[in-house]
Amino acid sequence: MNIYYICLIFNILSMLPDFFRLNLPRGMERNNKGQWVIFNRNYKPIGFNQSDFVKYDDFPIYTKYKGLTEKMILEIGNPDSIQRDEQGKICKFWLYNDETNPMNNNDWSTYWKKLEKLAKLKTSNKDE
């Protein structure tokens, strides 16, 4: 194999963690209207590639999901990956932590099963 192909393969492999960090969900956070934003590994909305702090409310990125219940969240997360508000309602949850990160432990099947459950959710009108 010549050096060109070795460099090409290295470049492709080195981009994968950045693609994962930017474009795949790490978790979700709820606003006070019951709408959710999906954030990436850098705690930015999916696809955002910037180092500056992002205030979610400044962007139209929240969505209300039918069926995203506490029961479902508890199924795809665990108690250590869930944050609750003052009323005890789940307001933020993570799909993985550093130990369960599929990029680190190569357990993609668990991560994909969580995404599969989320992918089946329907969105609802913001005014409902």
Query: Tokens representing 97?
Result: 């932590």
User: For the chain, which residues make up each domain, given as ranges?
Assistant: 3-124
How is residue 87 written in tokens? 């009323």
d(Cα 112, Cα 92) in Å, to the nearest integer? 19
* Rg of the chain in Å (alpha carbons): 17
Q: What is the pLDDT of residue 51?
A: 78
pLDDT for the residue numbered 13 = 46
% of residues, the chain, pLDDT over 70 = 83
Mean pLDDT estimate for the chain: 85
Within 10 angstroms of residue 23's Cβ, the number of other Cβ atoms is 13
Q: What's the DSSP call for residue 95?
A: S
CA distance 100 to 10: 25
pLDDT digits 0-9 by tens, 68-99: 999 999 999 877 889 999 999 999 999 998 88
Q: Is residue 102's pLDDT more than 50?
A: yes
**Cα 75–Cα 24–Cα 57 angle in degrees, nearest 5:** 90
